[in-house]
Homo-oligomer: A and B are copies of this chain.
């Protein structure tokens, strides 16, 4: 396998972007990534997207996006793993460069969610249709059950969940691409509308439009495109039980544990070797479960990590310096690539007010559904 580097990135603002269509968003992010590397062509394109068909009546995004980028001809493939589609696309781009099939690969994630689709029901198609969705449950309900399981087992409180949101907005307020650039107080979070007990509105990531793109090449070629490449040192993918009811312990995200083990194993690293991480906080309970599953803290200590500032900027392991899905926004197919961009910028020292000093290695963890799929990538400054 060849070593693989990220040499450039591009990203739209996340938000309710009514003036931009699905293809507009993609092109904006892709052109920025290409321009950053001085590249006007790529060998292959991977597009992460969850539900173009259901959201805006558009499948077949590989050729559509290649065409609108002015690159009709290149191999172009859409990859889907629900809200982990962006991370899954990065994994395929990594394999393409690592295998030698392609030398310069664009990986982009994109989603257009605000064009009138019944968003909650579209997102629910990422859960088990026959044993979950048919009976009426949607994602706030599934994550509320995960939260209740964590509370019952570890004594996690509504206040713990709320500190995750406070931290997310504090960091997102510093991110010019974030959907919500304002801080929220603990009192505001705890007084926000109840969505699915115990999850309130400000415990939930929003409905968003957006796109994000990164350019990959063999590490040996990276200096052609940038002085500061970032190496992808590991790609770990895993699945777990699709239905929440089938899991041994709903408070443990098995797929994240396994994907992380594979990534650490491939890199020959441990959680302590990571200085900055983006994790999949689609709901605030998810961040708590993910920091445990990634081994940053022991099981049951995820709430303490946020409460005592361990995952804050300046803490032992800053998590979601971008503002996370909660504050930055969550255009589902774009999220995994946007997480990667935050780590890319952190490792290049370009994260501005959000910069983690001395960050040498970073991790991005993307997750689909109620955690049935997860992809973990580890990155290193070179």
In the assembly, how many copies of this chain are there?
A: 2
A259→B241 CA distance, assembly (Å): 37
A360 CB–B CB distance under 8 Å: no
With a CB–CB cut-off of 8 A, which chain B residues contact A78?
A: 79-81
| CB of A76 within 8 Å of the partner chain | yes
Residue among A53, A82, A122, A235 facing the most chain B CB atoms (10 A cut-off): A53
Tell me whether A95 is interfacial, beta carbon within 8 Å: yes
Q: Which residues of B contact A242 (CB under 8 A)?
A: 60, 63-64, 67-68, 72
Residues of B contacting A127 in the complex (Cβ-Cβ under 8 angstroms): 60
Is A15's beta carbon under 8 Å from chain B?
no
Label chain A's interface by main secondary structure.
mixed
- Tell me, in angstroms, the Cα distance from A1 to B284 when the chains sit together: 42
Which of A96-104, A171-179, A285-293, A296-304 is found at the contact surface with chain B? A96-104
Decide if B237 touches A53 in the complex (CB within 8 Å).
no
Interface residue A128 (Cβ < 8 Å from any Cβ of B): yes
Residue from B60, B125, B239 in contact with A59 in the complex, judged by beta carbons closer than 8 Å: B125
Instruction: Give the CA-CA distance A54 to B54 in the complex, in Å.
Output: 6
**A157: interface (CB < 8 Å):** no
Verify A64–B372 contact, CB threshold 8 A.
Answer: yes
Q: How far is the CA of A66 from the CA of B375 in the complex (A)?
A: 15
The answer to whether A368 has its CB under 8 Å from any CB of chain B is yes
- Contacting residues, chain B, for A10 (C-beta < 8 A): none
Report if A340 contacts B (CB, 8 A).
Answer: no
| Residue A209 at the chain B interface, CB threshold 8 Å | no
In the complex, the answer to whether B59 meets A130 with C-beta atoms within 8 Å is no
Q: Could you tell me if B60 and A81 are in contact, using CB atoms closer than 8 angstroms?
A: yes
Given contacts A53-B51, A79-B79, A99-B95, contact A373 B73 (CB under 8 A): no
Q: What residues of chain B lie closer than 8 Å to A80, measured between beta carbons? A: 59-62, 77-80
- Residues 92-124 of A, flagged 1 when their CB comes within 8 A of B and 0 if not, give 100110111100000000000000000000101
Q: From residue A242, how far is it (CB to closest CB) to chain B in Å?
A: 5
Q: Is B53 a contact partner of A239 (Cβ separation < 8 A)?
A: no
Contact between chains at B130 and A72 (CB < 8 Å): no
Q: Do residues B240 and A73 form an inter-chain contact, with CB atoms below 8 A? A: yes
Contact A63 B373 (CB under 8 A): yes
Cβ-defined contact, A63 with B369, below 8 A = yes
Q: Flag whether A203 is at the interface (Cβ < 8 A).
A: no
What are some 22 contacts across the A-B interface (CB < 8 A)?
A1-B100, A23-B130, A53-B54, A57-B133, A59-B80, A60-B82, A63-B81, A64-B128, A67-B239, A67-B240, A67-B241, A67-B372, A73-B238, A74-B239, A75-B236, A77-B80, A77-B91, A80-B80, A95-B96, A95-B99, A98-B99, A99-B100
- 12 other A-B residue contacts (CB within 8 Å) besides A73-B238, A98-B101: A51-B53, A53-B125, A57-B129, A62-B239, A62-B368, A63-B369, A73-B254, A75-B237, A76-B239, A77-B373, A95-B99, A96-B99
9 shortest interchain CB distances as A-B pairs: A75-B237, A99-B99, A63-B372, A63-B239, A60-B82, A60-B126, A63-B373, A58-B129, A59-B125
